[in-house]
């Protein structure tokens, strides 16, 4: 069963299930109305006719049936919501297979015009690689996935991705839990830090105060027993109980209320987090490399359960009578604060670790789904090498689908490939093909080729330079600034990457150098730039319309080589989109312009 058949089958099955549950929901509503009416009728008969206990018993039975129906209705409603969320997952995936990604976050917030390559390679933004890949349900997973694609973090855990792409049931359920609202893991971290800063009486956490509290709890029933036996004044237990309540209330009430506000906020933020944790706990199989992380998640689940228990105890404080009795006989607020302090000391310091682990799982679900949705991709061979390696067979751009024209291409270490060709012949797309597939390979994600072998190196591109009128930066000035950034990057790869770089080599991908000046100046400037940059440990692929630039291969044959995308100028222009060795012979700008201008002569 292929991915489309799987999604369609599951979607249709859930459509039937949801329809059945909704019919059952209508039945529950009618049942609730019926039993409620019977309850009212039973009470009315009892009050008006005094028929004895029979009508009252029937009313009580009707009320019990009403309560049961309400509980079953609530469970049925939750099942409807869960199945509709799961159904939505399959519908969105079917639409994604057809090229519709509007339901997924496209990572627009991560668009960075100054990043070494993400802006040029369409990594973020509408119809981007991120939009095709992102299925995250937590803010942490969303950011972690973005950091992988931007090389701020490197994933390269192919075994983990291979594992997740086969865990369809888990991935489906994980995505379904995130439908409607993204879990704000950053908010959870912020609240956990606020929780750590919450000031509480240190006296309550001392061991001797616990012993004293147990003694106080024990004394009250003893005093009551002695008073009942006539061995003590009957008013003393009452005085002691009142005194005990006010001591606990005055000492603990303000702290308990502060804890209540804090835990209420934390609970609201962790509801989605808790559901995801419970799902991970039910998942029995995990990659060996994630065993410790899974163990951490189990501890997180325990922490959430303890928090939920604390919240239930805090909720009981809302009942004044209950508050009085619990504080008087059990010193409830005192032990509540102690338990909260223990929970905070035991668990809250690990919150960041748990958030990071769940974010990692979230990102892996996105990567696993991407692999499952693209079954014809293959795993690249990423090797350690002192020289730069880039070899690809039948490589194509991920956005073009199965009908894309493929090419074989290799980049020798230290070489500069000058790519010439007519407009629309495929030069820019080919450059992006090389870049985006390397981004995938470097992160251990399958690539769009028959075979690919690469080493680890840095990547920098310059393909989409734009002016900035607000900043007073002209197009040509923007080009110069980008080239300056490129030089800085090649000399120091940590520049603008945001992490220390261990890779010595850099691949630069350039689409036309110095487009913002005249032809002769552009040619001379391009030659000067390439002659100087080739002194660094850099390889490059440069697309250009300047055929004169291809003569660099005659002057420096050991560093420069020529490839081209040729077209056929017949009655209609034919594009092969195949890269071949050599320099392009045919150009199409004048040819196509003449066809446009024919209307003037008609």
What would the 3-class secondary structure string for 436-476 be? HHHHHHHCCCCECCCEEEEECCEEEEECCCCCECCCCECHH
Tell me how far apart the alpha carbons of residues 173 and 88 are, in angstroms, rounded to a whole number: 11
User: What band does 93 get if pLDDT is binned at 50, 70 and 90?
Assistant: very high
Tell me how far apart the alpha carbons of residues 443 and 355 are, in angstroms, rounded to a whole number: 21
- CA 482, 488, 493, 497 dihedral sign is negative
- Count the Cβ atoms, other than its own, within 10 Å of residue 439: 21
Distance between alpha carbon 207 and the CA centroid of its chain, in Å?
Answer: 44
Instruction: Check whether 469 has a pLDDT greater than 80.
Output: no
pLDDT mean over 566-575: 74
Instruction: Check whether 598 has a pLDDT greater than 70.
Output: no
Tell me how far apart the alpha carbons of residues 139 and 516 are, in angstroms, rounded to a whole number: 40
pLDDT at residue 516 in the model: 60
Answer whether 429's CB lies under 8 Å from 405's CB: no
Instruction: Check whether 454 has a pLDDT greater than 80.
Output: yes
User: What band does 362 get if pLDDT is binned at 50, 70 and 90?
Assistant: very high
Distance between alpha carbon 237 and the CA centroid of its chain, in Å?
Answer: 59
Answer whether 530's CB lies under 8 Å from 542's CB: yes
Instruction: Check whether 472 has a pLDDT greater than 50.
Output: no
pLDDT mean over 294-319: 85
Q: Tokens 């795993």: give the residue.
A: 379
Q: Tokens 């312009």: give the residue.
A: 593
Instruction: Check whether 319 has a pLDDT greater than 80.
Output: no
| Separation of first and last alpha carbons in the chain | 57
503-543 residue pLDDT tens = 788 999 999 887 766 667 777 888 888 888 888 889 999 99
Q: Which helix (H) or strand (E) holds 368?
A: helix 351-373
Answer whether 130's CB lies under 8 Å from 149's CB: yes
Answer whether 182's CB lies under 8 Å from 142's CB: yes
pLDDT at residue 96 in the model: 94
Q: Looking at the chain, how many residues does it have?
A: 602
- Count the Cβ atoms, other than its own, within 10 Å of residue 52: 9
Pairing of strands 390-395, 506-511: unpaired
Q: What is the mean pLDDT of the chain?
A: 85
Tell me how far apart the alpha carbons of residues 382 and 440 are, in angstroms, rounded to a whole number: 11
Answer whether 508's CB lies under 8 Å from 486's CB: yes
- Is the whole model's pTM more than 0.75, yes or no? yes
**Angle formed by the axes of helices 235-282 and 332-347, to 10°?**
30
Q: Which helix (H) or strand (E) holds 363?
A: helix 351-373
Residue 489: which of 112, 110, 120, 116 has the closest Cα? Answer: 116
294 CB-near residues (< 8 Å, 6+ apart): 280, 286
- Count the Cβ atoms, other than its own, within 10 Å of residue 579: 21
For the record, the structure tokens of 131 come out as 């939009």
pLDDT mean over 67-82: 90
| Environment class of 573 (CB within 10 Å of its CB; exposed 0-12, middle 13-18, buried 19+) | middle
572 CB-near residues (< 8 Å, 6+ apart): none
- 458 strand-pairing partners: 506
User: What band does 187 get if pLDDT is binned at 50, 70 and 90?
Assistant: confident
pLDDT at residue 546 in the model: 84
Tell me how far apart the alpha carbons of residues 173 and 89 are, in angstroms, rounded to a whole number: 9
User: What band does 587 get if pLDDT is binned at 50, 70 and 90?
Assistant: low
Answer whether 412's CB lies under 8 Å from 557's CB: no
User: Coil, strand, or helix at residue 581?
Assistant: strand
User: Coil, strand, or helix at residue 560?
Assistant: strand
User: What band does 330 get if pLDDT is binned at 50, 70 and 90?
Assistant: confident
User: Coil, strand, or helix at residue 172?
Assistant: helix
What are the boundaries of each domain within the chain?
3-100, 185-372, 381-601
Tell me how far apart the alpha carbons of residues 35 and 520 are, in angstroms, rounded to a whole number: 91
pLDDT mean over 182-196: 83
User: Coil, strand, or helix at residue 569?
Assistant: strand
251-273 residue pLDDT tens = 888 888 888 888 888 888 888 88
- 544 strand-pairing partners: 420
Instruction: Check whether 470 has a pLDDT greater than 50.
Output: no
The percentage of residues in the chain with a pLDDT greater than 90, rounded to a whole number, is: 38
Q: Tokens 């942490």: give the residue.
A: 140
Q: What angle do CA 322, 328, 330 make, to 5 degrees?
A: 85
pLDDT at residue 344 in the model: 85
For residues 479 and 280, the model is more confident at 280
Distance between alpha carbon 365 and the CA centroid of its chain, in Å?
Answer: 9
pLDDT at residue 391 in the model: 96
For residues 464 and 369, the model is more confident at 369
When mean pLDDT is compared across 51-65, 257-271, 344-358, the lowest value belongs to 51-65
> How many C-alpha atoms does 48 have within 13 Å on its Cβ side?
6
User: What band does 471 get if pLDDT is binned at 50, 70 and 90?
Assistant: low
**Cα torsion for 161, 381, 140, 343, to the nearest 10°?**
60
pLDDT mean over 75-84: 91
Residue 246: which of 126, 328, 337 has the closest Cα? Answer: 328
For the record, the structure tokens of 302 come out as 């325990």
Domain 381-601 has CATH 3.40.50.300: yes
For the record, the structure tokens of 195 come out as 């929780």
414-448 residue pLDDT tens = 999 999 887 787 889 999 999 999 999 999 999 99
pLDDT mean over 319-347: 80
pLDDT mean over 289-308: 88
Tell me how far apart the alpha carbons of residues 249 and 244 are, in angstroms, rounded to a whole number: 8
């Amino acid at each position: 069963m292929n991915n489309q058949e799987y999604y369609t089958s599951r979607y249709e099955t859930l459509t039937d299930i949801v329809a059945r549950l909704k019919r059952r929901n209508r039945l529950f509503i009618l049942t609730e109305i019926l039993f409620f009416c019977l309850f009212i009728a039973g009470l009315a008969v009892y009050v008006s006719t005094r028929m004895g206990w029979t009508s009252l018993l029937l009313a009580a039975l009707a009320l019990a049936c009403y309560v049961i129906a309400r509980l079953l209705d609530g469970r049925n409603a939750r099942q409807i919501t869960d199945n509709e969320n799961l159904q939505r997952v399959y519908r969105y995936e079917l639409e994604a297979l057809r090229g519709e990604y509007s339901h997924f976050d496209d990572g627009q917030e991560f668009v960075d015009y100054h990043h070494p390559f993400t802006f040029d390679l369409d990594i973020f933004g509408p119809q981007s690689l991120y939009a095709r890949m992102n299925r995250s349900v937590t803010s942490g997973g969303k950011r972690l996935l973005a950091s992988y694609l931007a090389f701020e973090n490197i994933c390269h855990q192919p075994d983990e991705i291979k594992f997740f792409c086969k865990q369809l049931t888990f991935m489906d359920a994980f995505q379904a839990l995130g439908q409607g609202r993204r879990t704000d893991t950053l908010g959870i971290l912020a609240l956990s830090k606020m929780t750590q800063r919450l000031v509480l009486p240190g006296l309550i956490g001392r061991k001797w105060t616990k012993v004293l509290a147990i003694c106080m709890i024990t004394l009250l029933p003893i005093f009551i027993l002695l008073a009942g036996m006539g061995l003590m004044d009957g008013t003393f237990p009452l005085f002691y109980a009142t005194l005990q309540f006010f001591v606990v209330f005055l000492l603990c009430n303000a702290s308990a209320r502060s804890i209540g506000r804090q835990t209420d906020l934390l609970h609201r933020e962790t509801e989605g987090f808790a559901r995801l944790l419970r799902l991970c706990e039910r998942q029995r199989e995990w990659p060996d490399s994630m065993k410790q992380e899974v163990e951490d998640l189990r501890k997180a689940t325990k922490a959430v359960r303890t928090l939920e228990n604390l919240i239930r105890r805090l909720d009981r404080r809302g009942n004044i009578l209950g508050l009085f009795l619990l504080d008087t006989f059990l010193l409830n607020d005192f032990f509540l604060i102690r338990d909260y302090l223990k929970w905070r000391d035991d668990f809250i310091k690990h919150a960041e670790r748990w958030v990071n682990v769940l974010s990692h799982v979230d990102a892996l679900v996105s990567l696993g789904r991407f692999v499952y949705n693209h079954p014809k991709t293959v795993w690249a061979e990423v090797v350690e090498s002192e020289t730069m390696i880039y070899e690809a067979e039948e490589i194509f751009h991920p956005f073009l689908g199965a009908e894309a024209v493929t090419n074989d291409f290799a980049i020798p270490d230290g070489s500069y490939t000058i790519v010439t060709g007519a407009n629309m012949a495929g030069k820019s797309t080919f450059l992006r093909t090389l870049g985006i597939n390397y981004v995938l390979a470097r992160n251990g994600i399958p690539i769009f080729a028959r075979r690919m072998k690469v080493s680890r190196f840095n990547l920098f591109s310059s393909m989409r330079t734009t002016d900035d009128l607000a900043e007073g930066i002209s197009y040509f000035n923007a080009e110069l600034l980008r080239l300056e950034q490129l030089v800085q990057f090649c000399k120091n790869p940590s520049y603008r990457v945001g992490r220390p770089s261990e890779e010595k080599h850099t691949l630069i991908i350039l689409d036309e150098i110095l487009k913002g000046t005249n032809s002769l100046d552009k040619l001379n400037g391009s030659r000067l730039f390439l002659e100087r940059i080739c002194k660094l440990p850099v390889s490059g692929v440069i697309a250009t319309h300047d055929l004169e630039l291809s003569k660099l291969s005659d002057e420096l044959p050991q560093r420069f080589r020529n490839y081209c995308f040729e077209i056929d100028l017949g009655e209609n222009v034919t594009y092969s989109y195949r890269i071949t060795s050599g320099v392009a012979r045919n150009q199409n700008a004048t040819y196509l312009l003449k066809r446009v201008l024919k209307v003037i002569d008609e």
